[in-house]
Chain A
Amino acid sequence: MPASRKRLLTLLFLAAAAAAFAVDPAQMSVKVKEAQLRTSPSYFTGKIAAMLAYTDRVTVIEKQKDWARVSFPAKKAEGWIHLSALQDKAIVLTSGSETVAKQASSGEVQLAGKGFSKEVESKYKQDNKLDYTWVDKMEAFKVTPEQIVGFFTQGGLSPEGGAK
């Protein structure tokens, strides 16, 4: 085989590979404040492997019912996360760049902290002289994953039911 044909074949193969990987549909974004990455697809038997934060972009490896096994290279983490914590669309923190602004207005990406935001809440609170003390206190009520498992076990309930 002449060298020029070999080069051409290699080039064509590379072009084919690039076309195949140009669009990566296996990327999803964390749409909640914080999410746990677990060792198995269950809130009860899965141990927490790592914590993910709002806007983190993960790579989906596989899916099982309502759960996805994902990897998050920035933290060298891998584990299971419930699909209700993920969305396809990327979430971007600032609207500084013009490209991002364009993508946001066309619906390609979602901007964090825009629309009904902290800023709007402050104004609403001030205009209506509302007291958010108990809302903040309420939000601070945290039940740890261990406490939840303990609550189920003590009550003789079937925790695996929750993992569907």
Chain B
Amino acid sequence: MKALSRIFRTAAISIVLALVLSGCSTLFSAFSPGRIVGNIADNATDTVVGAALGNEEDKKKIETVTKPFEEINPEQEYYVGRAVAATVLGTYPAYGDAKVNDYLNSLGQSLALASDMPETFSGYHFLAMDSDEINAFGAPSGFILVSRGLLRCATSEEEVAAILTHEIGHVTGKHGLKAIKASRWTEAGALLAKSATSGSDSGITQKLTAAFTDSIADIVKTMITSGYSRDLEKQADLAAVVILQRVGYDPRALVRMLQVMKTRLKPGGKDFAKTHPDPAERITYIEAAIKGLEAGAGASAAAEPSAASKRQARYKAALGKI
């Protein structure tokens, strides 16, 4: 009897030991940033659905329906981004000047590394569009297109950086994906789950392509015609301010860009004027954000003034004749 109780005691100690040991790993998991990243992605999916609907009740209803469907993964976001870029380039042709595009990529890819999402499936890529319109598009996964008309509004490297970081902000905020209508999301979700368990099935591919086509149309329509919500534009502006400040550019370059655009945009024009909030409104909250950053302790060192002439020289060499 005594022996039996000892065995039980030993067993109890072992179980406690096992629980303690496995408990450590559970703790590690619960607090791992990876888990946090996952949660953010989940919330993003909810916002995606919510953004397409105004009504809170409808939002909740759709959220429940789409819950089993996870957020679009980076590989799929990449194919969405490629398709959006290809579709936009059907309307606004590429400007193939190597000097211009090399500079946009050196500057843009450097800035992207200072964003909150430096890694996308295939990285960030920048291309100029041969259009006089004042316009830029940040397609999912980091395919960023900027018109010659918009680049002409800039007079320095930091102003071009302001344009690019605003578009990077649309990518890191996954704003393109948020433009996809909730109904397509539900439909695509069901198809994605089905395609995961089946081999190559032409029926599913056909339906998936239809859902894909509709999703791309939603994004392109939002980017070119209707514009993102004020909230998303604000998010992109604030992301831009943060990136500019982190690497040492003056974030007020964004304000200067908006002031120039304000004078150049034609009311009723089909470009930025149509798809973006009034520059004056944006300048107000951008100024406030900059003041907040400056008051904070985490202010980065400003760019060395002695290198200003080098920045201006490389900017002029690449974009002087844009």
Name which of B19-27, B49-57, B232-240, B285-293 contacts chain A. B19-27
In the assembled complex, B64 has its CB within 8 A of some CB on chain A: no
Q: How far is the CA of A152 from the CA of B113 in the complex (A)?
A: 11
Given known A135-B86, A143-B109, A154-B314, contact A123–B205 (CB-CB < 8 A):
yes
- Structural contact, B192 and A114, CB atoms closer than 8 A: yes
Determine whether the beta carbon of A130 is less than 8 Å from that of B14: no
B15: CB under 8 A from chain A?
yes
A117 to B94, CA, bound (A): 25
| A95 CB contact (under 8 Å) in B199, B205, B246 | B199
Q: Which residue of B lies closest to A111 (CB)?
A: B196
- Complex Cα distance, B142 from A144, in Å, reads 17
Query: Do A118 and B35 touch across chains, with their CB atoms under 8 A apart?
Result: no
Indicate whether A74 reaches chain B with its CB closer than 8 angstroms: no
Q: Is A139 touching B125 in the complex (CB atoms < 8 A)? A: yes
Q: B101 — which chain A residues lie within 8 A by C-beta?
A: 141
Contact A158 B248 (CB under 8 A): yes
CB of A33 within 8 Å of the partner chain: yes
Measured between beta carbons, the chain A residues less than 8 angstroms from B34 are 28, 60, 68, 83, 86-88
Known contacts A132-B82, A138-B85, A151-B110: A83-B33 contact under CB 8 Å? yes
Interface size on B, residues (CB 8 A): 96
Give the 10 A-B CB pairs with smallest separation, nearest first: A156-B307, A156-B304, A20-B21, A25-B29, A162-B114, A16-B18, A161-B246, A12-B14, A85-B119, A116-B76
- B-side residues, CB < 8 A to A, are 3, 6-7, 10-11, 14-15, 17-19, 21-22, 24-26, 28-29, 32-35, 37-38, 68, 70, 72-76, 79-80, 82-83, 85-87, 89-90, 94, 96, 101-102, 105-107, 109-110, 113-114, 116-123, 125-127, 143, 157, 188, 191-193, 195-200, 205-206, 208-209, 212-213, 216, 245-249, 300-301, 303-308, 310-311, 314
Question: Which residues of A are interface residues toward B (Cβ below 8 A)?
Answer: 5, 8-9, 12-13, 15-17, 19-26, 28, 31-33, 35, 43, 54, 60, 63, 66, 68, 82-89, 95, 101-102, 104-105, 107, 110-121, 123-125, 127-128, 130-132, 134-135, 137-139, 141-143, 147-148, 151-152, 154-159, 161-162, 164
